[in-house]
Amino acid sequence: MMPTLNNDEIKHGYFMLLCSIINVNIDSVEERSYWILCKYLFNREFYWSVHNDDNRLMDAVKLREEYIDTFEEPVVLIHPISVLEVLIGIAYRMTDLMNEVDQANSTADVVGWFWHIIRNLDLWQFDDAEYSLPGSKTRVTIIIDRLLSRTYDRDGHGGLFPLTSPKKDQRKVEIWYQMSGYLLENYYKDFS
Q: Which domain holds residue 86?
A: 32-191
76: left (phi over 0), alpha (psi -120 to 50) or beta: beta
3-29 average pLDDT score: 83
Q: Is residue 8 part of a domain?
A: no
Sign of the alpha-carbon torsion through 133, 23, 18, 49: positive
Q: Is residue 9 part of a domain?
A: no
Q: Is residue 16 part of a domain?
A: no
CA dist 81 and 174 (Å) reads 18
What one-character-per-residue DSSP string does 86-130 give? HHHHHHHHHHHHHHHH-TTT----HHHHHHHHHHHTT-TT--HHH
Question: By mean pLDDT, which of 49-58, 79-88, 134-143, 152-161 is the weakest?
Answer: 49-58
Do 61 and 81 contact (CB within 8 A), yes or no?
Answer: yes
Q: Is residue 26 part of a domain?
A: no
Q: Is residue 15 part of a domain?
A: no
Query: How many residues are listed for the chain in this entry?
Result: 192
Q: Is residue 94 part of a domain?
A: yes
CA dist 77 and 64 (Å) reads 8
Do 39 and 12 contact (CB within 8 A), yes or no?
Answer: no
* pLDDT recorded at residue 192: 44
As to burial, measured by CB atoms within 10 angstroms (0-12 exposed, 13-18 middle, 19+ buried), residue 167 is exposed
Q: Is residue 79 part of a domain?
A: yes
Point out which residues pair with 82 in neighbouring strands.
Answer: 45
- Predicted confidence (pLDDT) at residue 74 exceeds the cutoff of 90: no
In which band, very low, low, confident or very high, does the pLDDT at 169 lie, cut at 50, 70 and 90? very high
Number of domains forming the structure of the chain: 1
Mean pLDDT over the full length of the chain: 89
Nearest to 57 by CA among 81, 80, 22, 25: 81
What are the angstrom distances between the C-alpha of 147 and each of 91, 152, 189? Answer: 16, 7, 26
CA dist 119 and 174 (Å) reads 20
* pLDDT recorded at residue 26: 64
Q: Is residue 4 part of a domain?
A: no
* Model pTM score: 0.90
Per-residue model confidence as pLDDT tens digits over 170-182: 999 999 999 999 9
